[in-house]
Structure 1
Amino acid sequence: MKEIFAYGLMAVILLSCNQKDTLCIYMVGDSTMSVKKPEVAPETGWGMVLSAFFDDAVIIKNHAKNGRSTKSFIVEGRWINVLDSLTQGDFVLIQFGHNDQKHNSPERYTKPYGDYYRNLKKFVVESRQKGATPILLTSIVRRKFSEDGQLIDTHGDYPKAMRKVAENLNVGLVDLQKLTHHLVDSLGSEKSKVLYVWTKNSDLFPEGRQDDTHLSVQGAEKVAALAVQELRKLIGDLKQHIVNHP
């Protein structure tokens, strides 16, 4: 998909969601979704390229942030900033899990069926109170293969807990964990490296990078395409605004 990365870097976040005939999508989540600094290229959050799939009537406001969990996103005041901006008819994409599972980081760690579940419920309920539509997205897979070539799940009960929130609260769900598992598994251990940040040595990274969590430009494009395929089923008005069909 030509020029998708360049288009994704456009400052759509600065546009107003109050314009007539606009459809505003807020994104809250972690580093797999967030906007990256140029110096860490080619690392790319899939939220950075999402706007390239839509016409100008769709406005993406990416509030995802590196290293955040549901807990730290709330404690740092990031959620209230999003909530205060929401208006009737907006959409909120909610993707957390990678950092909620970090036991050694008490400022971020949550139990799947404890605070993680409750925080997701908070996002859903409060979005709806503002007239916005929340959509949950399970975490993308990490590239971790066993010696016999099997893709290993690293997220434990977190995707299951999110699916339970979606079921119990009747929330739209994009199951990126399952979708990206199929994608990465189909490529296999070696070929799937192209989706992640595997780079040679540089001044900033003298030993190169072998990052099996964060996405390359190509990986971000693939994940965004998977998300769009599912979002068009959940957001009725979205289909007419898709310009780059995944």
Structure 2
Amino acid sequence: MTIHLAGDSTVAPTDDGRTSGYPQVPLLGWGDELAPFTDDVVRNHAIGGATTASFRAEGRWEKLLAELRPGDTVVIQFGHNDQKEPDELAAEGGYTDRLAQFVAEARANGARPVLATSVERRLYDGAGDDAALRWSHGPYPAAVRALGHDLDVPVLDLTAFTRWLYGWLGRDASAALFPHGAAAAAGLPVDDSLAKDNTHFTTAGARAVARYVGEALASLDGAHDADEPLGAWVMQP
């Protein structure tokens, strides 16, 4: 089976360092790192700047549908750019409507749709590990969760996961998940545009999210449900 990915730059393949100007500091989405964490083939159709509207208008969704085979999975994660067009792509308006269309069309082609909330931006109020991590997506993640409930579609809550990830690492250490942190750690100069980018991942960030997605999809598949429980063989609490 094949896992098809539809989304924006936080899912999309690597830019090979073109954005940062350093080959050793690429910018990439979690979809580029998913293959090592699944036994399925991964087809990453995501593209930087995409909204639920542009992904269809540019023919990318049509191309994805043409490649679908019964039993495939389609993971759909948008929102970062949709929120920049609140009139046409409001969370409970055009954004939800277009996601629902994606779900219906994936199902019509025999595939399993899986919705994902947007990965969180790493934006803090203040400095130090006590600084509060801001919520940057407003009602968009909630709209995805509600749609998943209404349409009986699995939802990968990547907003919640990435918020946990940044908090677990701490404000300073979590910088390494992003190009400016990786560049600084490598002793490379960090210009203003790179320093302000707390949206896009470098390899470490993409790999962390991809590992979670791989585990979540395996759980949805029931990949290990038939394994023998090991409770009798491990130390008792």
Is the structural similarity TM-score above 0.5? yes
1:209 match: secondary structure: helix
Q: 1:234 aligns with which of 220, 228, 232?
A: 220
Q: What is the rounded CA distance, in whole Å, between the counterparts of 1:217 and 1:193 in structure 2?
A: 12
Q: What is the rounded CA distance, in whole Å, between the counterparts of 2:118 and 2:89 in structure 1?
A: 15
Q: 2:116 aligns with which of 133, 137, 150?
A: 137
Aligned length, in residue pairs: 212
Does the alignment pair 1:115 with 2:119? Answer: no
Q: What is the rounded CA distance, in whole Å, between the counterparts of 1:214 and 1:192 in structure 2?
A: 13
CA contact (8 A) 1:36 1:45 kept: yes
Q: What is the rounded CA distance, in whole Å, between the counterparts of 1:53 and 1:233 in structure 2?
A: 12
Query: Which AA in structure 1 matches 2:133?
Result: L
Q: What is the rounded CA distance, in whole Å, between the counterparts of 2:193 and 2:69 in structure 1?
A: 44
2:34 match: secondary structure: helix
Q: Partner residue of 1:209?
A: 194
Does the alignment pair 1:49 with 2:28? Answer: no
CA contact (8 A) 2:15 2:26 kept: no
Structure 1 segment 179-194 matched on structure 2, within 5 A: 179-194=161-176
Q: Partner residue of 1:128?
A: 107
- The one-character-per-residue Cα deviations of 1:146-170 (angstroms, maximum 9, x if unpaired) are 1260110000000000011100000
CA contact (8 A) 1:117 1:161 kept: yes
* Structure 1 residue 133, shift from structure 2 partner: 0.3
* Structure 1 residue 74, shift from structure 2 partner: 1.1
Q: Partner residue of 1:175?
A: 157
With over 3 angstroms needed to count, the CA separation of the structure-2 counterparts of 1:95 and 1:238, relative to structure 1, is: farther
Q: Partner residue of 1:67?
A: 49
State the TM-score, normalizing by the size of structure 1: 0.80
* Structure 1 residue 239, shift from structure 2 partner: 8.4
CA contact (8 A) 2:124 2:134 kept: yes
Q: What is the rounded CA distance, in whole Å, between the counterparts of 1:84 and 1:238 in structure 2?
A: 31
Q: 1:219 aligns with which of 173, 182, 205?
A: 205
- Largest Rg, 1 or 2: 2
* Percent identical: 38
Does the alignment pair 1:27 with 2:34? Answer: no
CA contact (8 A) 1:232 1:239 kept: no
CA contact (8 A) 1:70 1:119 kept: yes
- The one-character-per-residue Cα deviations of 1:134-185 (angstroms, maximum 9, x if unpaired) are 0001111100011260110000000000011100000011100001111112
Query: Which AA in structure 2 matches 1:27?
Result: L
Q: Partner residue of 1:5?
A: none
With over 3 angstroms needed to count, the CA separation of the structure-2 counterparts of 1:238 and 1:36, relative to structure 1, is: farther
In structure 1, list runs of 5 or more residues that go unmatched: 1-22, 241-246
